[in-house]
Amino acid sequence: MKKKVKTKELELTIPILPNIELLVGKVVSELARHMKLDQNEEDEVKMATIEACLNAFEHSKSKEGKVYLKFQIANDELMVVVRDSGVGFNPEELNPPPIEEMLSGKRKRGWGLKIIENLVDSVEIHSEKGKGTTVIIRKRKKG
Amino acid sequence: MKEEELKVTVRKEDNYAVISTEGYINNLGGEKIAKECYQLMDEGVKNFILNLAQSRVINSIGISILIEIIEKVLEVKGNISFCALTPTIAKTFRIMGLTQYAKVFATEEEAIKAITG
């Protein structure tokens, strides 16, 4: 018989406002502490979530000016879903510039998703032009 | 540690300056650091140590401003180093390639020693 996994969930809708991503960061920190993630794991998932929110704020061009978040804890894993109803994009077209290009002043941005990928265990991106983007981040407890 | 507004402290020595931050390094925080650095550069400072011990979170906009600072420091043939980074920030700087142009030290003392010998 399969053991039923207990999940804990929290949903949050945030308006696009300056520094509101810090509130999201605080939620992530609380959940990370509840899961007893170590300080580095907490910092990593917090920074990744903040970055996912910023991507939604900056690039979604969402008319409703909101971002929807869902947090779920199950089996020592924290899942964060960041969803917007903006313009959408093709993740394959993203190409973060190398440091040399950034230093020469040509293009300094475009690293958001790469940063997220390197800080968490997995990232899923579902995006449809004109309909919006959903980013799903997963961070597992290692210790 | 207060996250909302970045606090920047500057300590100017003979041939280097230490800029210490406390809080979230976002666009406004990055600009605050840049303002201090550029003012010090106008005063002739070429060697910079950025102590981020009290900053646990930085975003990609903040990092892009740090890259602008590195660019300006390199233009005047100066040096810039970071110290006391959290493992998460150190990892992010490494991934993005910042560590090819700015050294990272575990402590401020080590960063100072690298300048003063």
Note the pLDDT of residue A109. Answer: 72
The whole domain housing B56 covers 7-104
| Residues of chain B contacting residue A118, judged by C-beta atoms under 8 Å apart | 91-92, 95
Cβ-based contacts of B96 with chain A (< 8 Å) = 96, 99, 102, 111, 114-115
The CATH number assigned to the domain holding A112 equals: 3.30.565.10
Checking if the pLDDT of B20 tops 90, the result is yes
Token representation of residue B31: 């600009």
N-to-C CA span, chain A = 28
Q: Look at residue B3 and tell me whether its pLDDT is greater than 70.
A: no
Q: Do B63 and A99 touch (CB under 8 A)?
A: no
Q: Are A51 and B64 in contact (CB under 8 A)?
A: no
Q: Least CB-CB distance to B88: which of A103, A108, A119?
A: A119
Phi then psi for residue A127, to 5 deg, are -140, 140
B114, part of any domain: no
pTM for this predicted structure: 0.91
Check if A87 contacts B (Cβ < 8 Å). no
| Residue B111 covered by a domain | no
Place of tokens 């449809």: A128
Q: Judge residue A140's burial from the number of C-beta atoms within 10 Å of its C-beta, 0-12 exposed, 13-18 middle, 19 or more buried.
A: middle
A2 lies in a domain? no
Enclosing domain of residue A119: 8-140
User: Is residue B113, in this structure, part of any structural domain at all?
Assistant: no
- Predicted pLDDT of residue A106: 66
The dihedral of CA B37, A112, A118, A135: what is its sign?
positive
In the chain, the amino acid numbered B112 is: I
* pLDDT per residue rounded down to tens, chain A (143 residues): 667 778 999 999 999 999 999 999 999 999 999 999 999 999 999 999 999 999 999 888 878 899 999 999 998 999 999 999 998 887 777 777 777 777 776 667 778 889 999 999 999 999 998 899 999 999 999 96
pLDDT in tens, B70-113: 999 999 999 999 999 999 999 999 999 999 999 999 999 999 99
As a whole number of angstroms, the distance between CA B32 and CA A29 comes to: 26
Helix axis angle, A39-59 relative to A21-34, nearest 10°?
150
> Starting at the edge strand that comes first in sequence, how are the strands of the sheet with B7-12 ordered?
B7-12, B17-22, B47-54, B79-83, B103-105
How far apart, in whole angstroms, are the C-alpha atoms of residue B106 and residue B43?
28
Count structural domains, chain B: 1
Tally the domains of chain A: 1
Mutate to test the interface with B, among A49, A51, A95, A116 (most CBs of B within 10 A): A51
A48 in any annotated domain: yes
pLDDT digits (tens, 9 = 90+) for B21-62: 999 999 999 999 999 999 999 999 999 999 999 999 999 999
**ipTM of the complex model:** 0.90
Inter-chain contact A40–B88, Cβ cutoff 8 Å? yes
Q: Is B53 on the interface with A (CB under 8 A)?
A: no
Write down the pLDDT at residue A110. 78
Q: What is the DSSP letter of A5?
A: P
The per-residue pLDDT of chain A, averaged, comes to 90
Only one residue has tokens 């910079």, namely: B48
Residue B117 lies in a domain: no
Cα A100 from Cα A22, distance rounded (Å): 30
